[in-house]
Chain A
Amino acid sequence: MKITMPRWFYQLASPKWCYDILGMLSPWLGLAALILLSVGVVWGLVFAPPDYQQGNSYRIIYIHVPSAILAQSCFMLMAVAGAIGMIWKMKVAHIVAKSAAPIGASMTIIALSTGAIWGKPTWGAWWVWDARLTSMLILFFLYIGIIALYSAFENKASGDQAAAILSLVGIVNIPIIKYSVEWWNTLHQPASFTLTKKPAMPPEMWLPLLVMVLGYYCFFAFVLIGRTRIELLEREQKSGWVSAIINEAR
């Protein structure tokens, strides 16, 4: 069976083409991230109204929720990129997956620590085995496993494939983990209210949140592109176009 993909898809497989295109995108994404994040933070911290129940502590939402979304999107991206890399033997896809892993892990740390801190004024404890926090913790363990697997292989190509297999296994497991943790949580703590479920947030509260989510995505893309480009250079060091870039940088 031969699946034909549009032309740009095959161009993606060329490291030089990717390096150039990503280099063109990178400054715009950085700029967008800077603007969106500063607008979102000021809007969320200063201009959004306080919550009638939680007061001002709810303002943690503007950094907590986007990082949780990003942590999950990043894992999804790694699995999709890993699958593309395995199916079409595309080195660039593996490099994207590898570059995404540490960023996703740091997003998970942000989500976990801000969630725990938010728990203190809300639940009265620094850590609560809430379903969302617990599944985020397991996601963090999955990230650690994948990063450890990358560094365990001396041969980079084998490490890429191993991590791709593990992230595909992980992505099948994530819904199961989520479901089982939620079930387990209701068994053990019947009356817990979650951090983010609210009776319909007014727009002056969720608009800054939307801005923050977009800002996080832009920041993520900016760092991902940066890491991917350097990894491309590292792996293609023997080829002519990389030597030209190194000579230029002198």
Chain B
Amino acid sequence: MGYFNSFSDFLNMGGHALYVWLSYAITLVLFLYNLLSLWLKKRAFFTQAKRQLKREQRLS
């Protein structure tokens, strides 16, 4: 597997496991946060818009 002899070797990252995996984890979290906030924004808009549309239909 690439430049590592075994999977545990890969996880160990030559003794730098903490640093490498911590920074990859932070990056992953922020990427997911971007996607999540996009999705929440979309959902918030559509629920709000539908509610308003219904109210307008009831009034007219």
Contacts and interface: CB of A to CB of B under 8 A. Distances in A.
A16 interface: no
Contact of A63 (B27, B35, B37, B52): B27
A102 B1 CA distance: 38
Which label, helix, strand, loop or mixed, suits the secondary structure of the A interface?
helix
Contacts of A59: 13, 20
Given A46-B2, A55-B14, A233-B45, A60 B20 contact: yes
Interface residues of A, number: 40
A247 B13 contact: no
A246 interface: yes
B1 A55 contact: no
A49 interface: yes
Nearest to B31: A219
Nearest to A220: B34
18 contacts: A41-B24, A46-B4, A47-B2, A55-B16, A56-B16, A57-B16, A57-B20, A106-B34, A117-B26, A223-B38, A230-B38, A230-B41, A233-B45, A233-B49, A234-B45, A237-B49, A246-B46, A249-B46
Interface of B: 1-4, 10, 13-16, 19-20, 22-24, 26-27, 30-31, 33-35, 37-38, 41-42, 45-46, 49-50, 52-53
Interface of A: 41, 45-50, 55-57, 59-60, 63-64, 67, 102-103, 106, 109-110, 113-114, 117-118, 120-121, 219, 223, 226-227, 230, 233-234, 237, 242-243, 246-247, 249-250
Given A49-B3, A60-B20, A113-B26, 8 more contacts: A50-B3, A55-B14, A63-B23, A63-B27, A64-B23, A227-B41, A246-B49, A247-B53
